[in-house]
């Protein structure tokens, strides 16, 4: 505790808060949309969100403190998107059975050491091109937010630029937290907040009995495992490596497997190492102190999981442009780093192809475009940039 308090600071609390807000807004809306598509009840959704935040928050706190790195775990957003169509012809217990089987598979791969070897063999420019393609929408979302709600977003951008330019002021009030504060003020000043029932109540999780069917295993297990280990964790590894960290790849894969098994019993989709949140909390400040921001995210996740009905209602009552602007501002430095690494040297053609395929966002066999971007970009570099592999 003494070491943690010595490393902790206001800027890390701010980045942890912004990272948490990012996770608790747009991604939560995806869960709600998937649940509505699959006919899940409010109780099912409440339990899903409890597991996604509370259980993964515990894992995040443990990994951040043990490894002294920003290692935040949440849930697989592409995995959640996969679940929506599956719930049209599979029962929820069958889907939960697939979550458990996916967790067992990921644990086995992590313990074997294959995940680390495959990850280390991937060329970093191609991986960062995939990250740039995935995160690009946050940058364009910022531009769209200015167009959609200039009264709220323009002051946020102005304050962010001011605090970034005047670094002394930025040390006292970090640019992201300044933008968030002025954004909240603007939301209430221009009466853009949708008030509703905000009863304070805990979210009791449901416990589900899984069902195992071959149809669910074939349809979901492989895509979910690929999405977590390659796409989601790949983003996390890339942004953390770019920030100078050395994430324990195999241990993370084992944690994702174990977390997926536990969260499945309360109805949550597979656990993963989050890319955007870890990018936010490792984008500024001293590298050896980034883990404190991860602990902040984990603690806020515990509270959010317990009070998910209240917090979901509050956060989704703010205008969408506010959330889009906050996420876009948080991702500016991350995008800058990703583009610099991807197109600053070797594997340039493969990186470009990876970027284009990822941005096109066309899934194949229910597997997201980010995975296919890596595969196709690597293949192009292997065929046309063989010299870069030898250098």
Express each pLDDT in 214-234 by its tens digit. 888 887 887 788 778 877 888
Among 20-34, 170-184, 230-244, 257-271, the range scoring the smallest mean pLDDT is: 20-34
Question: Does the model's pTM come out above 0.95?
Answer: no
What does the pLDDT read at residue 167? 78
Please report how the helices 320-343 and 348-360 are oriented relative to each other, as an axis angle in degrees rounded to 10.
160
Q: For residue 4, what are the contacts with CB-CB under 8 A and spacing of at least 6? A: 65, 292, 295
pLDDT, mean over the chain = 85
What does the pLDDT read at residue 26? 64
Query: Would you call 75 helix, strand, or coil by DSSP?
Result: strand
Pick from 154-168, 259-273, 337-351 the range whose average pLDDT is largest: 259-273
Task: Judge contact between 348 and 340, C-beta under 8 A.
Answer: no
Residue 315 has pLDDT above 70, yes or no: no
What does the pLDDT read at residue 4? 85
CA-CA distance, 233 to 350, in Å (whole number)?
Answer: 20
Average pLDDT value for residue range 127-132 = 81
Residue 260 has pLDDT above 90, yes or no: yes
What does the pLDDT read at residue 214? 87
Residue 350 has pLDDT above 60, yes or no: yes
Average pLDDT value for residue range 236-263 = 91
Average pLDDT value for residue range 358-365 = 82
What does the pLDDT read at residue 157? 93
């Amino acid at each position: 505790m003494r070491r943690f308090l010595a490393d902790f600071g206001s800027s890390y609390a701010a980045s942890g808060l912004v990272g948490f807000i990012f996770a608790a807004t747009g991604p939560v809306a995806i869960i709600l949309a998937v649940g509505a598509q699959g006919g899940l009840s409010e109780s099912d959704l409440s339990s899903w969100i409890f597991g996604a935040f509370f259980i993964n928050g515990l894992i995040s706190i443990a990994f951040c403190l043990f490894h002294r790195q920003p290692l935040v775990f949440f849930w697989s957003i592409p995995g959640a998107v996969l679940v929506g169509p599956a719930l049209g012809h599979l029962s929820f217990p069958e889907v939960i059975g697939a979550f458990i089987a996916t967790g067992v598979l990921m644990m086995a791969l992590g313990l074997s050491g294959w995940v680390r070897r495959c990850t280390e063999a991937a060329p970093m420019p191609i991986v960062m091109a995939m990250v740039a393609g995935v995160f690009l929408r946050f940058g364009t979302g910022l531009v769209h937010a200015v167009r959609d709600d200039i009264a709220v977003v323009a002051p946020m951008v102005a304050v962010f630029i001011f605090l970034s330019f005047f670094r002394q002021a930025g040390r006292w009030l970090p640019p992201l937290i300044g933008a968030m504060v002025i954004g909240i003020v603007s939301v209430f000043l221009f009466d853009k907040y949708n008030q509703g029932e905000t009863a304070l109540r805990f979210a009791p999780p449901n416990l589900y009995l899984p069902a195992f069917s071959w149809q669910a295993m074939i349809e979901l297990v492989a895509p979910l495992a690929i999405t977590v280990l390659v796409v989601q964790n790949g983003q996390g590894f890339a942004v953390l490596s770019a920030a100078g960290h050395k994430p324990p790849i195999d241990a993370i894969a084992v944690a994702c497997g174990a977390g997926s098994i536990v969260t499945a019993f309360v109805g949550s989709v597979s656990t993963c190492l989050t890319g955007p949140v870890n990018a936010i909390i490792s984008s500024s400040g001293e590298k050896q102190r980034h883990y404190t921001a991860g602990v902040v995210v984990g603690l806020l996740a515990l509270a959010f999981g317990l009070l998910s009905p209240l917090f979901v209602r509050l956060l989704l009552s703010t205008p969408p442009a506010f959330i889009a602007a906050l996420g876009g501002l948080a991702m500016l430095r991350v995008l800058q780093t990703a583009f610099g690494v991807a197109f600053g040297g070797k594997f340039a053609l493969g990186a470009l192809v990876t970027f284009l395929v990822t941005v096109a966002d066309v899934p194949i066999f229910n597997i997201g475009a980010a995975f296919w971007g890596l595969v196709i970009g690597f293949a192009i570099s292997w065929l046309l940039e063989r010299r870069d592999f030898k250098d």
